Amino acid sequence: MSGTPHARRTMLRAAALAPAVGLGLTACSTGGDGGSNRSAPTAPVDLGTADEVKVGASKLYTDQNVVVSRISEDEYKAFSTICTHARCPINKLEGHKLICPCHGSQFDATNGKVLHEPAVAPLHELPVKVEKGKIVAGPEKA
């Protein structure tokens, strides 16, 4: 029975690969995230003083899943930092480049556009304003 050892090897290889495949699928899933917040603000959130974001700079607010860029003295842009690829919270900002830790998607913090795939959809823009010297971002309460 010369075919039996070959079949056994094939079966053992498949059994050895099954856990690795499962881990890969888990890493790409959009469920169970260990408690991290996977949503953008659903109501306005106070992000701190307007002076914290200098003209021409961007600031990442990881607790609120928001990035704010100050385009000019009185113009601000805000975007959700939930990656449009697999809904991972983005936690890294280099200059104006947001980098998703899950699969490496990159976005421009000043306009939300995709700089590097696998994401293909831009970040969701959020309403932003300065009230009494504080940055407030997120949709108005319904």
Report the DSSP beta bridge partners of residue 135: 48, 130
pLDDT of residue 140: 76
* Residue from 139, 137, 111 nearest 48 by CA: 137
Which tokens hold the place of 75?
Answer: 């113009």
Mean pLDDT in the chain? 82
Question: What pLDDT score was predicted for residue 38?
Answer: 74
Residues of the chain below pLDDT 50: 18, 20-35
How far, in Å, CA of 13 to CA of 16, rounded?
5
Report the C-alpha gap between 41 and 47 in whole angstroms: 11
User: Would the pTM of this model clear 0.75, i.e. be above it?
Assistant: no
